Amino acid sequence: MGLYVNTFMTGAVSVTCVVLIPFRYQTAAGLSPLQAGARRLILFSGASPIGAIVAAALCKKRRVPPLYIMMFGEILQILGLVLATTLLTSSNDRDEPALYGLQVCIGFGMGFVMGTATLLTPAIAERRDLGESSGFGMALLIGLMLTITTPGNGIDYCWRNTLRLNEVPWVADHKVEDQIVFPAAGYLAIAIEALSQILGDSLPLTPPIEFQNVSFNAALIVKDEGSGADSEIHTVMAPRRLSTKQLSSVYYDFSVSSWKSNHVLTHCSGGIRLSSATSSEGSVNIQDSVGYRMWPMKRWYEKASEEGLVFGPHMRSIIGLQADRSRLSSDSICTTHTKPLALAASSISYQVHPITIDACLQAAILSAAAGTPNRNGVFDVLIDTTRKPSLTVQKLADSLETHLRNNDVQAVSVVEFESLSNSSTITRETLVISLLELENELLGSLSEEHMNLLRTATDTVKNLLWVTGANMLAEPNPDLAMAPGLSRSIIMEQPSLNFNILDVGPVVGMGQASIATTCDNVVRIMFAPRAINDKEFIQHNRLLYISRLGSDFSTNALFRRRLGMEQGFQQTTLGSAGNARLEVGQPGITDSLYFQQHPAELSESLPKGYIDVKTQAAHRLLPGEDTKVMATLPVAWGAALYAVRERAYLRAGETVLVHSGAGAFGSAVIRLAQQIGAEVYTTVGARKRREFLIKEMGIPEDHIFCSRDESFEEDIKKATDGRGVDVVINSLVGDLMHASWRCVGDFGRFVEVGKKELLDAGKLDMSVFARGATFTAFDNTEMLFHPDDYYRKTYISMVKEILSMYRSGKIKPVPIMEFDVSEISQAYRFFSSKDRVGKVVISLENLNSIIKVMPPKYTSQFASHKSYLLVGALGGLGRSLSSWMRSQGARNFVFIARSGASKKEAKEQVDYLRRSGARVQVVQGDVSRSSDVEKAVAESKALGPIGGVVHAAMGLHEDLFGRMTNEGWHTSVRSKWRGAWNLHNALQSQAASPDFFLLASSMTGTVGVATETNYCAANAFLDAFSYWRRRQGLPTVSIGLGMVSEVGYLHENPQIEALLLRRGIQPLNEDEFLQVVDLGISNSGRDIGNSTVTNSHMLTGMETFGVRKLLDKGFEVTHTVMDDERSSILSAALDFDRTRNTGDPNNISSGASLGWMKGLPEVAAKSLMKETSAPSLKEALSLVIGRKFSNLILMPFEKIDYARSFAQLGVDSMIASEFRAWFWNGFAVDIPFLDFLSPDKNLEAVVSFAEATLATESKGKLGG
């Protein structure tokens, strides 16, 4: 009997089931303890968890009250015990069915009871004791409702939970800098779950939820696992109290707080309700989303991380963002995962997953919101002349022949270009000196025949000197400047080719002394040993110059300041600041005030220095009027008159309470109230202000109260015999505002002039309205900028009346404290001081005052009455550029495009520009055809004088020069070379030169890229063409763009972008690209006529930030362009970073004793010094080559499979080019380019090839 009572009272018979029954069964049946336990408890062990799972599901869905489930479980257990009483009394069969029945009944019963009891355990229970259910996911955030197991009133609901990162791992992906911060979306998800639990069965399957007045008050820092500092979260939710007697049936108020060390901190509070499914309140209709541009999310999240808001993989929930192309509108359309990644492999369910909610919050934020060792010896020489040599060129050729023979050079031949293919003297060891472009261009109009002849030299010889007459240090001939671009690219394809350029300037009139100097320089370049491996030379005034790339420190500093990469403030005089507006750098910090410069808009009618002002907002000053006084009248007095007359309807004999009566606004209200004949009560917070009101304003002392606490409420009641006042003009907040509200008498008017309580959705005591009171609020700024003319005219009329009252002597100015504009921070600090009386005025009269300014982000302004001609600007970068130009004032566009506006993206851009108010003409044509260009220029003139030209034509045909077709060559060259000349010539008919001529070049023209000889040559021409135009007095700039992410070619080909990033090449994002364009355009007109190559060409993409990041991660990457001698200044610091953790690569003495190293070329021995412990040359090569390849593709060395083909390892032409150049520079081994792209070649093959080549050279040196 005791057993049954115990079972009914506790619902637990585990001792009976687990101990007593097996024991008795063992005794009766003669079994061992193991046999009795194993045979008779298997069914019990299976039935118990099944019962617990069923019970958990029933509790979740609220189908049966928990008490009923427990009683049902207890009945099953009792039934099992009844069956147990029949054991071995009617049968001696050890396996009688009753044995199985009792195990199943007791197992199910115990599962039902214990499963339900576990779910009802208070939230402090360990998670391992909780049953898994479909509602378990939200229990990890909100915890369990305490009112289930503790007494409650059925109105206020409480939850308690201990938050652990191992249970909600996605929270760890939400960080502020290095700290994990519980996301705001988590609080909203908690509130949703709380409401779901309260509403229960009445909750729809997909409930529409509406939040109201949600406030995030403090961040909840979540500690890492193992820190022993779990976060205890408390959630409270209750129906909104509408009055002392009525609760809302719709709205619930909630708060989420944390408890730690006896300290409670409220993190979030607000309201929530189950909304109508058809309600559209709060939704946003984007009226004009056609043509919105898709923005990549990678840069957004990277920028957020840079600013300290770090989103991990789970929280990077937005996968697409469409926004206004000009980025001026706050409209945006975001796309997110329909199911967050955190749920991809989880059965945990949420009404709305916090990650999805966070995506909505993110969308709101986003909407608000880029050497070969020297060798000496005897060479066979072949000198080519031009096709129709002038006497001077012939004379130079003859002089070179003589000079070379006098320097012991044998077998000198002079041949014409056309006969080159018939010459049998060209061998690998032949030195070719070309005079093909000494006077006339060859590469721009290169025919197929001449291209094949040129390849005869580049594919055969290993020493080539190209002599040109480009004259790049004086009066340049840009047509002769393509060869450097060609050579830089071919060297990347054929690193064993020693391709040199010598610019000797114009040969016409070259005297004998200059010819002799030229001959000496040729010998010096090609034969004299040099410590540095320069390949490009310019001869000027008989001196030989080499070039070096250097940083433009002033432009780079301005670039970084504009983009916020470093402190951008400058100290300047007020007079030189130009159009600037006061801004707050950091809210609440007066020292962060600064002036943001804005370029003045270009206007056809207004002279420079003038701006448009609406006449209704301007009021004429009369002679002799003090500007300091007049500046104080419109805001304070205008607002005071509107408050007293239009909102308070103050009448004579009424009482009025004016808070902060010593301030400018309060003083003005008091003056107006006194004129009306009202009785004034006021409050102040300091003795000095009290004295001012008594002495200057005539307020009786017993009418002045304290504004620091609620004591004024009792003072008003005493002064008015409990009636209260007729009008309250309020500027207090919090409890003081509510105390002021209670001061309103019968039919009184309360005028709120503050903003805080309104923005914080403050609540009012509704009982005051029972007195017939009125609550009203206004903001004079909102009135002035209201779209309805009525409000603007009302406020402006108030200002006019105030000025009239002042001039007639009816009102007097308030006390004024003046500060110079250089003291603006002190002025704001004084404004908040307790002793301030009256108005603070900031004087702008001293133009020599020093102020802190921030330069404008963009300085380029485009005149709305001018037209702008853009070539090839309907692609990715061009669309971004034209959108930016429109935002900077341009309103007339003419585009030249081969396909016109037929492509979808081009049509969308044209439509976008037209919808935004611009006039757009698209000329379908080819910039390389002069007739098409002349037509476009005529279209531009019809829209207005041409204000600027952008030449961004781009044609790509990638291939090795050795197999490139002639048409492929001209695909890149023709549009840039011939197009630039066509634009220049067509513009000569215009009376005035355009304000700018922007040439979209590429860094490849300066540094060279394999498989792009045509593109590199064309861009080298553009850079020279820019210099030539500037020397003619025409504003021009060539911008050598590097890698540009987010827009353009790389954005549309992410695999190439990823490759360049792996090489450490630093990209420009779109903002940075536009910044570079702005700097180029704004500088294009400076120093015209006295220009150098430096200010005619801006080069980007040479930054080493990306390489440094990879070096910090342990990859020994190389920035290919830094291997060029011209980059030696830029690479010096990078070389230090690269070698600081390595040994001295020049110390090869330690390896001299190794047998396999003897006889190796010095360059190869240096490269192999890190592997002196290798047992053989092949093993050492295998390790060095494998590590280099690992760094090149950023794959861990231990994962490199030498047997896999290069194609399988993702090697493309760019990687192949760099790897091939490294082989030549590191081992003097020239591996065929196509071997790196072949599906049949792998690392084992190139290691064997390098070993064989080096072994042959070593054997030759040792005389073997």
Chain segment 491-538, per-residue pLDDT in tens: 988 989 999 999 999 988 787 888 888 888 888 888 877 778 899 999
What share of the chain has pLDDT > 70, as a percent? 76
Structure tokens given for 1182: 């295998």
Structure tokens given for 579: 């159009």
DSSP letter (8 states) at residue 335: E
Rounded average pLDDT over 695-712? 93
Give the closest residue to 1116 by CA, choosing from 1222, 1236, 1212, 1045.
1222
983 and 1048 within one domain: yes
> What is the rounded CA–CA span in Å between residue 1200 and residue 1188?
11
**1261 contacts 1159 by C-beta, under 8 angstroms:** yes
> What is the rounded CA–CA span in Å between residue 507 and residue 514?
9
1041 and 905 within one domain: yes
Q: Is residue 12 part of a domain?
A: yes
228 and 171 within one domain: yes
> What is the rounded CA–CA span in Å between residue 437 and residue 615?
65
pLDDT band, very low/low/confident/very high, at 297 (cuts 50, 70, 90): confident
Give the CA radius of gyration of the chain: 42
> What is the rounded CA–CA span in Å between residue 1032 and residue 238?
79
Instruction: List, for residues 765-801, the tens digit of each pLDDT value.
Output: 889 999 999 999 999 888 888 888 899 889 889 999 9
> What is the rounded CA–CA span in Å between residue 1006 and residue 1012?
12
Alpha helices of 494-587 — where are they, by DSSP H?
A: 512-526, 553-562, 574-577
CA angle 890–893–897, rounded 5-degree value: 145
Residues 6+ apart with CB under 8 A from 859: 599, 1078, 1082
pLDDT band, very low/low/confident/very high, at 1050 (cuts 50, 70, 90): low
> What is the rounded CA–CA span in Å between residue 994 and residue 1181?
59
Q: Of 496, 512, 545, which residue is a domain's last?
A: 545
> What is the rounded CA–CA span in Å between residue 646 and residue 1010?
76
Q: What is the dihedral angle through the alpha carbons of 521, 522, 527, 528, rounded to the nearest 10 degrees? A: 10
873 and 775 within one domain: no
> What is the rounded CA–CA span in Å between residue 335 and residue 329?
18
Q: Which of 358, 503, 926, 1071 is flagged as catalytic?
A: 358
Q: Is residue 754 part of a domain?
A: yes
DSSP letter (8 states) at residue 373: P
Q: Is residue 559 part of a domain?
A: no
Residue type, 193: E
> What is the rounded CA–CA span in Å between residue 794 and residue 327?
35
**619 contacts 800 by C-beta, under 8 angstroms:** yes
Give Cα separations from 539 to 513, 522, 532 (angstroms). 13, 10, 18
Instruction: List, for residues 23-44, the tens digit of each pLDDT value.
Output: 455 555 555 656 666 555 666 6
Least confident of 79-83, 198-202, 405-409: 405-409
CB count within 10 Å of CB 85 equals 9
**750 contacts 775 by C-beta, under 8 angstroms:** yes
Give Cα separations from 274 to 141, 193, 201 (angstroms). 21, 12, 13
Least confident of 201-215, 257-271, 690-704: 201-215
Q: What is the dihedral angle through the alpha carbons of 1198, 1202, 1205, 1211, rounded to the nearest 10 degrees? A: 50
Q: Which of 173, 174, 324, 926 is flagged as catalytic?
A: 174
Residues 6+ apart with CB under 8 A from 803: 619, 630, 633
pLDDT band, very low/low/confident/very high, at 377 (cuts 50, 70, 90): very low
> What is the rounded CA–CA span in Å between residue 13 and residue 19?
10
HSE-up of residue 409 (Cα within 13 Å, Cβ side): 26
Task: Look at strands 850-854 and 570-573 and give their pairing.
Answer: antiparallel
Q: Is residue 131 part of a domain?
A: yes
1161 and 1114 within one domain: no
Most confident of 228-232, 289-293, 454-458, 1051-1055: 454-458
Q: What pLDDT score was predicted for residue 1027? A: 94
Give the closest residue to 436 by CA, choosing from 420, 459, 412.
420
Most confident of 82-86, 1084-1088, 1177-1181: 1177-1181
Residue type, 719: A
643 and 700 within one domain: yes
> What is the rounded CA–CA span in Å between residue 1175 and residue 1151?
12
Has 450 been annotated as catalytic? Answer: no
> What is the rounded CA–CA span in Å between residue 1114 and residue 1111?
5
Has 358 been annotated as catalytic? Answer: yes
Least confident of 285-299, 312-326, 908-922: 285-299
pLDDT band, very low/low/confident/very high, at 394 (cuts 50, 70, 90): low
Beta bridge partners of 538: 503, 545
> What is the rounded CA–CA span in Å between residue 1109 and residue 1189?
18
* C-alpha of 354 from chain center: 23
> What is the rounded CA–CA span in Å between residue 213 and residue 14?
52
Give the closest residue to 1001 by CA, choosing from 983, 975, 982.
975
> What is the rounded CA–CA span in Å between residue 315 and residue 358?
8
112 and 91 within one domain: yes
Q: Of 1120, 1139, 1158, which residue is a domain's last?
A: 1139
Q: What pLDDT score was predicted for residue 953? A: 94
DSSP letter (8 states) at residue 898: T
Q: Of 119, 136, 155, which residue is a domain's last?
A: 119
Beta bridge partners of 571: 852
Structure tokens given for 623: 């002679």
Q: Is residue 1181 part of a domain?
A: yes
DSSP 1139-1205: HTTS--TT--GGGTT-GGGTT--HHHHHHTGGGTT-SSHHHHHHHHHHHHHHHHHT--GGG--TTSB
631 and 538 within one domain: no
Give the closest residue to 996 by CA, choosing from 1087, 1095, 868, 889.
868
Give the SS3 label for residue 385. strand
Q: Which helix (H) or strand (E) holds 54?
A: helix 33-61
pLDDT band, very low/low/confident/very high, at 423 (cuts 50, 70, 90): low
Q: Which domain holds residue 596?
A: 569-605+815-854
Rounded average pLDDT over 639-662? 95
- Residue 193 pLDDT > 80, yes or no? yes
Structure tokens given for 210: 């509406």
Instruction: List, for residues 1139-1165, the tens digit of each pLDDT value.
Output: 544 444 444 444 445 677 777 888 888
CA angle 252–62–13, rounded 5-degree value: 130
925 and 997 within one domain: yes
Q: What's the pTM value of the predicted model, to 2 decimals?
A: 0.66
* C-alpha of 1201 from chain center: 37
Number of domains in the chain: 9
pLDDT band, very low/low/confident/very high, at 91 (cuts 50, 70, 90): very low
1019 and 1125 within one domain: no
Q: What pLDDT score was predicted for residue 855? A: 83
- Residue 569 pLDDT > 70, yes or no? yes
Compute the mean pLDDT over every residue in the chain, rounded to the nearest whole number: 80
Give the SS3 label for residue 810. coil
Give the SS3 label for residue 474. coil
Q: What pLDDT score was predicted for residue 25? A: 53
- Residue 1228 pLDDT > 70, yes or no? yes
> What is the rounded CA–CA span in Å between residue 740 and residue 724?
10
Beta bridge partners of 545: 538
pLDDT band, very low/low/confident/very high, at 3 (cuts 50, 70, 90): very low
Task: Look at strands 946-951 and 867-871 and give their pairing.
Answer: parallel
Instruction: List, for residues 801-840, the tens digit of each pLDDT value.
Output: 999 999 999 999 888 999 999 999 889 888 878 778 888 9
What share of the chain has pLDDT > 90, as a percent? 34
Q: Is residue 417 part of a domain?
A: no
Residue type, 166: N
* C-alpha of 312 from chain center: 15
HSE-up of residue 992 (Cα within 13 Å, Cβ side): 10
- Residue 1 pLDDT > 50, yes or no? no
Q: Is residue 1182 part of a domain?
A: yes
pLDDT band, very low/low/confident/very high, at 142 (cuts 50, 70, 90): low
Least confident of 141-155, 301-315, 534-548, 1024-1038: 141-155
Rounded average pLDDT over 168-185? 86
601 and 521 within one domain: no
> What is the rounded CA–CA span in Å between residue 1178 and residue 1195?
22
User: What values do phi and psi take at 626, rounded to 5?
Assistant: -75, 120
Q: What pLDDT score was predicted for residue 154? A: 72
CA angle 890–893–896, rounded 5-degree value: 145
Structure tokens given for 437: 């472009």
CATH number at residue 918: 3.40.50.720
Q: Is residue 558 part of a domain?
A: no
Biggest alpha carbon–alpha carbon distance for the chain: 135
Number of residues written out for the chain: 1264
Q: What pLDDT score was predicted for residue 757? A: 83
Q: What pLDDT score was predicted for residue 1149? A: 46
Residue type, 1040: G
Most confident of 90-104, 282-296, 558-572, 1173-1187: 1173-1187
pLDDT band, very low/low/confident/very high, at 670 (cuts 50, 70, 90): very high
332 and 257 within one domain: no
Q: What pLDDT score was predicted for residue 534? A: 92
Task: Look at strands 704-706 and 430-437 and give their pairing.
Answer: unpaired
Task: Look at strands 221-222 and 179-181 and give their pairing.
Answer: antiparallel
Helices H, strands E: what count in the chain?
42, 39
- Residue 472 pLDDT > 60, yes or no? yes
